[in-house]
Copies of this chain bind each other. A is one copy, B any other.
């Protein structure tokens, strides 16, 4: 591909705490400052906060929606993708990205972490899940201490 733009997904709950929203919005601003396109699930909560931050710095926001209607996208989504496949769109969210940043999140977010790890796509975490398998820690989620660090790690690993 001629296209050299990087695509990074940000995942998290459609409802979130105000602290998670602040983290997500700052992640969005950082992505825009680095010229990265944002991919997300297109709805509220963390998805809306990260789109808001990204758009405020002139970034490109892509929302991959579960339902049949573009009107369900949050107001900061510039490219709504309408899939009609419900939670199966979680797979498209992470597979469309070269790295994934998780902010908080519940079981939907966990499914996205799992699908990304299954596909060899790096996952960086901010206050999110941690995993162990057969009582051994699994290190597939790389912890970050701040939005800026999360974006730095994501960019360094987004090699496709």
Chain B minimum-CB-distance residue to A110:
B114
Number of interface residues of A (CB under 8 A): 54
Interface pair B86/A86, CB less than 8 Å apart: yes
Q: Are B88 and A91 in contact (CB under 8 A)?
A: yes
Query: Contact between B130 and A129 (Cβ–Cβ < 8 Å)?
Result: no
Name the one of B114, B128, B135, B138 contacting A111, with C-beta atoms under 8 angstroms: B114
Please tell me how many copies of the chain the complex holds: 4
Quick check: is A118 within 8 A (CB to CB) of the other chain?
yes
Q: Is B130's CB under 8 angstroms from A132's CB?
A: yes
Using CB atoms, name the residue of chain B closest to A108. B118
A80 within 8 A of B: yes
CA distance A134 to B5 in the complex (A): 32
| Chain A positions near chain B (C-beta within 8 angstroms) | 1-3, 5, 7, 37, 62, 64, 68, 70-71, 73, 75-88, 91-92, 95-96, 104, 106-108, 110-111, 113-115, 117-119, 127-135, 138, 140, 160
